[in-house]
Chains A and B, each alone.
Chain A
Amino acid sequence: MPQLNPEPWLMILSITWLVLITTLQPKIASLKFMNSPSSPAQKTTKTWPWPQI
C-alpha cells in the first residue's frame, strides 16, 4: 500500500500543518471575528446596504 511508504511522510506532515495553520485558520478566523479588529480605529460601522458615496 503506498500510504505505508515512509518516504513522503515528513513532507505530508509539514504541508498539512502549514496549510491548516497559515491558510485555513486565518480564513475561518476572518469569518468568525468580523467586527472585532485589533485596534478600535479599524472597526467599521456597517452602513446601509448600499455604500454611501
Chain B
Amino acid sequence: MNLNLFDQFLVPQLLGMPLLIPAMLLTTVLIYNPQDRWLSNPLTTLQSWLIAKATKQIMTPVNKPGHKWSLMLISLLTMLILNNLLGLLPYTFTPTTQLSMNMALALPLWLATVLIGLRNKPTSSLAHLLPEGTPTPLIPILILIETISLLIRPIALAVRLTANLTAGHLLLHLISTAALSLMTTSTLLAGLTLIILTLLMLLEIAVAMIQAYVFTLLLSLYLQENV
C-alpha cells in the first residue's frame, strides 16, 4: 500500500531515458511567443497581461538596482506555476515534488541575494541579524537565532514547496482510492468522499498557484533586504 502511494514520485523512465526532460520542456510549449502585430489574439494578450501584472506585483517593493532580477523571478514564477498546475492532471509527473529541483532553485538564488548584500552593503545586510529595539542582555542569543534563521531560509523554501505539493498529491491519491473502493460497498459514503475529493482538488489548484507565488515572493523579499 505504501509503495503504491509513493510510486507516483519516482522519476519516470522509458527505456532508460528519463522522462523528466520532456516533462519540463513541454510545459514551456504552453507559453505563446509574441506576435508581430498591433493587437495579438486574446490568449496571447491575456498571457502578456498576466505576466505584466505579476511583474508589477512582485517587483514594485524592490528598489531600482533589484529590477535586474525581474526576468529571473518572473521566469521562476512562470515555471513553478506551470509545473504545479500541470501536475494536477491525472497520470502526469510533477517535477516540483522533487526536493532536488526545489533545492536547485532555492539555494543558488538565496545565496546570490546574501552575497550581493555582503558585497554591496555589508554593514546594512549584517545589521539585519539584530532587530531594532532589542534589550542588551538578549543581543548575543538573538544574533545566533537570526543567523540560524538566515541559514535555514533555502531549506525552508525548498521543503515548503516540496512538502505542500507532495502532501496534496498523496491526499488526492488516498481519497480517490478510498472513493473507488467504497463504490462497491456503500454508494452514499462514496458520494461523500467524491464531494471531499472535489473540494480537495479545488484546494490543490489554489495551493499550486499560491506556493509558486510564495516561493518567488520570499526570494524577492530576501532581495529587498540585500540589494
- A positions within 8 Å CB-CB of B: 1-4, 8-9, 11-13, 15-17, 19-20, 23-25, 27-32, 34, 44, 46-49, 51
Pairs across A and B, CB under 8 Å, 5 listed: A15-B24, A20-B75, A24-B28, A28-B71, A34-B34
- Main SS class of interface, B: helix
Kindly state whether residue B31 has any CB partner on chain A within 8 Å.
yes
- Main SS class of interface, A: helix
- Whether A30 contacts B25 in the complex (CB less than 8 A), given A3-B100, A15-B20, comes out as no
Kindly state whether residue B162 has any CB partner on chain A within 8 Å.
yes
Q: What residues of chain A lie closer than 8 Å to B95, measured between beta carbons?
A: 12, 16
- Whether A16 contacts B33 in the complex (CB less than 8 A), given A1-B6, A23-B28, A27-B28, comes out as no
Size of B's binding interface in residues, CB under 8 A: 41
Number of inter-chain CB pairs below 8 Å: 95
Q: What residues of chain A lie closer than 8 Å to B99, measured between beta carbons?
A: 3-4
Tell which of B20, B100, B103, B104 has the most Cβ of chain A within 10 Å.
B100
Cβ contact within 8 Å between B34 and A16: no
Cβ contact within 8 Å between A49 and B10: no
Partner of A30, one of B11, B20, B34: B34
Tell which of A1, A2, A11, A28 has the most Cβ of chain B within 10 Å.
A28
- Mark each residue of chain B from 162 to 175: 1 if its CB lies under 8 Å from any CB of chain A, else 0: 10001000000000
- B positions within 8 Å CB-CB of A: 6-7, 9-11, 18, 20-21, 24-25, 28, 31, 33-34, 36-39, 47-48, 51, 55, 70-72, 74-76, 78-79, 95, 97-101, 103-105, 162, 166
Q: Which A residue sits closest to B51, measured CB to CB?
A: A31
Cβ contact within 8 Å between B38 and A49: yes
- Whether A49 contacts B24 in the complex (CB less than 8 A), given A12-B104, A20-B75, A28-B75, comes out as no
Cβ contact within 8 Å between A20 and B79: yes
Partner of B11, one of A8, A19, A25, A27: A8
Q: How far is the CA of A34 from the CA of B71 in the complex (A)?
A: 14
